[in-house]
Amino acid sequence: MPSKTLYDKIWDAHVVSTEPDGTCLIYIDRHLVHEVTSAQAFEGLRLNDRPVRRPELTLAVVDHNIPTTDRSQGIDDPESKLQMDTLAANTKEFGVEYYDELDQRQGIVHIIGPEQGFTLPGTTVVCGDSHTATHGAFGALAHGIGTSEVEHVLASQTLLQNKSKNMLVKVNGKLPAGITAKDLTLAIIAHTGTAGGTGHVIEYSGEAIRDLSMEGRMTLCNMAIEGGARAGLVAPDEKTYAYLKGRPKAPKGADWDAAVAYWKTLHSDEGAHFDKVIEIDATSIAPIVTWGTSPEDAIAITDSVPEPMSFSDEHKQSSAARALEYMGLTAGTPMTEIPIDKVFIGSCTNGRIEDLREVARVVEGRKIAPNVDAMVVPGSGLVKSQAEEEGIAAILKEAGFDWREPGCSMCLGMNPDRLEPGERCASTSNRNFEGRQGHGGRTHLMSPAMAAAAAVTGRLTDVRTLDTAGAPA
């Protein structure tokens, strides 16, 4: 039998049929749905009088546009309310399980899938959201789809797909102390560029990847899409099984044993072919921040804002010049001299319990700078209650953070949480696009620890130097 990659194995196990040109009908094991990209899909089913083929394989939640303030008295914004009500009505009509805004299991779609044990190794997972790549942390083939494809999955539990190429990102050695999965994933994108993974599924391997917790692997795979990849994958291991065991929707009893036996076969074979291989030295990675308006505009915090003409390609030169103008930055400015107005801790990239623990570790006994507004938006109701039980919420509130209800929040600013024009934000989210966090808002992406350090000093800060550079209360 020829050697196969992890991606080849999952792909082959899901082919229902193949067209003469190689286009495949792929079976979808898990489908996540939220309020912003599903209404038109359910409407399509209704118009064509089609049922949902297997409602138990779809799980719905509201996350993108709900406010992160108290929701028990209803939602003010009529458009947001209409989208939420539409999802509630659609899931009821078609028999799909739904976590509403008051359900403790509610949260960001990519946080609740793993949390509930809905996401499993070796499965295909899709959602009308590009950050579906997150679930690849479990060795699931997971990718974002558009609304037409959401409808296709609801109707048929399949998708028409062309197989992507295999790409291996091997991260050798250990990450230095204080360097997180977020720094690693930004460093990889800085290396490959935002289109470096286009047409590929990336498998991440190497010592530094094995060392990551499941939360870290989710952060890593979450941003595979920012590198252009169709999906990111990490082969499952004991950490994966330990994370999933006992979760509400994970297999139980004999099914669990059978599942683990199968999952142990899910790794790339010796000698399997990758179309593209990139090796990264984990030991050389410093804390990373972005300076521009694309996730590939990422550099070490110890660097300075780059000169547009330093890029070799003319398209990149003009793109960098435009980015500096938008960001209100001057080439040559040390990154650590950039003052900030806001801090956003949260999102499907960094809204999990481990991320909140990191922030608490940095800010404990300190106060956020007087010029800074800082908010923490837990990734789910369960993350929120766990953080409250662990005393993390108390530490963050004591430091001056605003402690919110779960949702996507200022990662995309569809709800009232957004930047004003010209405001600068240290953000743990995934996109620094123009206007992403609010019209005219300026986003610097970084890890939770780095965002916490920025909150304390009021400017971009190397968290490793906080004890000497900061001003603890």
Contacting other proteins within 391-450 (CB under 8 A): 412-414, 421, 431, 433-436, 439
CA distance 432 to 417: 16
- Sole binder of other proteins in the list 79, 207, 279, 281 (CB under 8 A): 79
* Inter-residue contact 175 to 208 (CB < 8 Å): yes
- Sole binder of other proteins in the list 10, 108, 125, 145 (CB under 8 A): 145
Query: Within 266-305, which residues bind other proteins (CB under 8 A)?
Result: 294, 296
Q: DSSP alpha helices (H): ranges in 167-222?
A: 181-192, 207-211, 214-222
Query: Within 57-76, which residues bind other proteins (CB under 8 A)?
Result: 57, 64-65
Query: What's the burial of 155, exposed, middle or buried (CB within 10 Å: 0-12/13-18/19+)?
Result: middle
DSSP codes, 307-320? PGGGSSSHHHHHHH
Binding string, residues 197-216; x marks residues near other proteins by CB under 8 A? -xx-----------------
80 interacts with other proteins by CB under 8 A: yes
Q: Taking CA 57 as the corner, what is the angle to CA 55 and CA 58, rounded to the nearest 5 degrees?
A: 70
* Inter-residue contact 160 to 152 (CB < 8 Å): yes
Nearer to other proteins, 29 or 237 (CB): 29
- Sole binder of other proteins in the list 4, 5, 8, 29 (CB under 8 A): 29
CA distance 46 to 51: 8
Residue 81 Cβ vs other proteins, minimum distance, rounded to whole Å: 10
311 interacts with other proteins by CB under 8 A: no
Residues in the chain: 473
Within the chain, what is the greatest distance between any pair of CA atoms? Answer: 68
Nearer to other proteins, 192 or 205 (CB): 192
238: number of Cβ within 10 Å: 9
CA distance 233 to 202: 6
Nearer to other proteins, 273 or 316 (CB): 316
User: What is the crossing angle of helices 147-156 and 39-47, to 10°?
Assistant: 50
Q: DSSP alpha helices (H): ranges in 414-473?
A: 448-457, 466-469
Nearer to other proteins, 102 or 258 (CB): 258
- Sole binder of other proteins in the list 8, 63, 101, 129 (CB under 8 A): 129
- Sole binder of other proteins in the list 67, 107, 114, 144 (CB under 8 A): 144
Nearer to other proteins, 176 or 435 (CB): 435
170 interacts with other proteins by CB under 8 A: no
- Sole binder of other proteins in the list 68, 91, 164, 350 (CB under 8 A): 164
191 interacts with other proteins by CB under 8 A: no
- Ranges assigned E (strand) in 85-237: 97-99, 124-127, 141-144, 158-161, 165-172, 200-205, 231-233
- Sole binder of other proteins in the list 179, 189, 250, 377 (CB under 8 A): 250
* Inter-residue contact 63 to 341 (CB < 8 Å): no
**Residue 318 phi/psi, 5° resolution?**
-70, -35
| Binding-site size, other proteins (CB under 8 A) | 90
- Sole binder of other proteins in the list 3, 12, 46, 56 (CB under 8 A): 56
Pick the stretch among 67-75, 113-121, 166-174, 183-191 that binds other proteins (CB under 8 A).
Answer: 113-121
Residue 117 Cβ vs other proteins, minimum distance, rounded to whole Å: 7
36 interacts with other proteins by CB under 8 A: yes
Query: Within 317-376, which residues bind other proteins (CB under 8 A)?
Result: 318-319, 322
Amino acid present at 244: L
